[in-house]
Amino acid sequence: MNKNYWIIEVFKKKNLPDIFGIDIKRSIEEIGIYNVEEVRVSNIYKIECIADKEKIKKITKELLIDNVSETFRIYKKIKIEKNCWIVEVFLKEGVTDPVGDTAKDTIIESGILKDVNVKTGKRYYIKGNLKEKEIKEICEKILANTLVQNYFIFKRV
């Protein structure tokens, strides 16, 4: 079996406020962009390993999420939402990813997998009537520090 990527997205349960999202929205308004309706933030774990979905589920439930406040989905391709920009921010190659490293160590230590690699990032769902230029500005000024991070914008439909 070849190694493959699993992408796990961890987000706050719907009935709980997304504090990070609210904070980001406030920051966006501070730079003078006011037509943002909502921002939601989720954590992304890219897991490179040989494993089936059940195992990945087990890892996620036991190690990656807080079962009280968070929930997750596992998939291989990004879903694009209506009227919503999606931005992903990842650390550049070679920059230490402490969360990823710790997740990796923990997975190995728990005995679920022996050979695994984890990279982490953040995904932002930004709702509102925004132009691409504005999204770029938001990325550069708030979401990513291009010195150490790359950002990817997924166009809305």
Q: Which residues bind other proteins (CB under 8 A)?
A: 27, 30-32, 91-92, 94-98, 101-102, 105, 109, 141-142, 145, 147-148
Least distance in angstroms from the C-beta of 147 to other proteins = 6
- The smaller minimum CB distance to other proteins, of residues 98 and 111, is found at 98
Find out whether 45 and 120 touch, Cβ atoms under 8 Å: yes
- The smaller minimum CB distance to other proteins, of residues 7 and 91, is found at 91
Least distance in angstroms from the C-beta of 93 to other proteins = 9
Handedness of CA 1, 71, 41, 108 (dihedral sign): negative
Find out whether 36 and 129 touch, Cβ atoms under 8 Å: no
| 155 closest CA partner among 137, 23, 136, 144 | 136
Least distance in angstroms from the C-beta of 104 to other proteins = 11
Least distance in angstroms from the C-beta of 20 to other proteins = 11
- The smaller minimum CB distance to other proteins, of residues 136 and 141, is found at 141
**Burial code of 39-74, b = ≥16 C-beta within 10 A, e = fewer?**
bbbbbbbebebebeeebbeebbeeebbeeeebbbee
- The smaller minimum CB distance to other proteins, of residues 12 and 104, is found at 104
